[in-house]
Every structure is written in structure tokens, then in C-alpha cells.
Amino acid sequence: MFDRELTQQAEALLQRARTAGVMIVTAESCTGGLVSALLTEIPGSSDVVDRAFVTYSNEAKTEMLGIPARVIAANGAVSREVALRMAENALLKSNADIAVSITGIAGPGGSEHKPAGLVHFGLAVRDRPGMCEVHRFGDRGRDVVRRQSVLSALRLLHQGVDLIV
């Protein structure tokens, strides 16, 4: 289902997390659960993957992750503030040690200020301050933006493991 590069990256992440004894949670919007699907495609991942939140709508972000509607209204769902809260709250609502979040505009569409290909990522690690990244993958189509987002999320999760070990 997933290509060789994605699978190899996911296998390496799972092994590093397993060795470090840490659990992972994801909070995904524009990727629709692709990161968690990739991780759980690999046999034995249940010892490292705690759970996943697919919060595609604003309501889901509020109901499942507890992000106040006023925060989404003030900043937009595709924002640093929402990405950070998604990761931090996913961590709080799980048994995981590391959380990654993804919120963006896979396309088509977008606006002048938030074009297709704009994706915000959050990383939360237990007992450490959260961090965010923003990527502009360009309006290259949903598949490309979502694939690049998955790769970026895996890289961030590797960084999260580095912070623990």
C-alpha cells in the first residue's frame, strides 16, 4: 500500500521508538490518518503506537482534542497555534510519550495567505516544550502534499525520540 521509502522510514522510526521504550500518538487533519496507517501497516507496531486522532473538521479538533473553538476561529485550523495544541492535547489524551500533529491545505484551493501546500506540524514530547514547523510544499496536488507531509511527520517523530534518548 505504501512505497518502499515510506515503509523504510516508518520501520526505522518504530525500531528507534521500541529501543527507547517510547509510545507514539498522531493527530492528523489534512493527511486523514496516513501517518498512523503507515505505522500500523508494519507488524508489531502496537508496542509503539498508542493511538491516532483523525481530526479533519474543526469540530473534531474541538471535540476529540479539546482545542477551543475560539482558538480555531482566531487563528484558523491551518496555523501554528492549532498544530501545537493538536500535538500537546493528543499527548495529554493518550498514553504516549511523543505526539506529532499535521494540519494543512493539501489542495486544491487555499487562499493568498494560506495556499495549497501549506502545512503546519506540531511535535510534543512529555515534559518538554512543544515545537512547530511550517512547510510550503506548493500546489503540486493532494497526493504529493500528503506524501511530503507524512515524510515530514516521520522526521519530526525521529527528532522526538532523539529528545528522549
Question: pLDDT grade, residue 62 (50/70/90)?
Answer: very high
The domain locations on the chain are 23-164
Higher-scoring residue by pLDDT: 47, 165: 47
Q: What is the pLDDT of residues 118-143, one digit of tens each?
A: 999 999 999 999 999 999 999 999 99
If DSSP states are collapsed to H, E and C, what string results for the chain? CCCHHHHHHHHHHHHHHHHHCCCEEEEECCCCCHHHHHHHHCCCHHHCEEEEEECCCHHHHHHHHCCCHHHHHHHCCCCHHHHHHHHHHHHHCCCCCEEEEEEECCCCCECCCCECCEEEEEEEECCCCCEEEEEECCCCCHHHHHHHHHHHHHHHHHHHHHHHC
Give me the CATH code for the 23-164 domain, please. Answer: 3.90.950.20
Model pTM score: 0.96
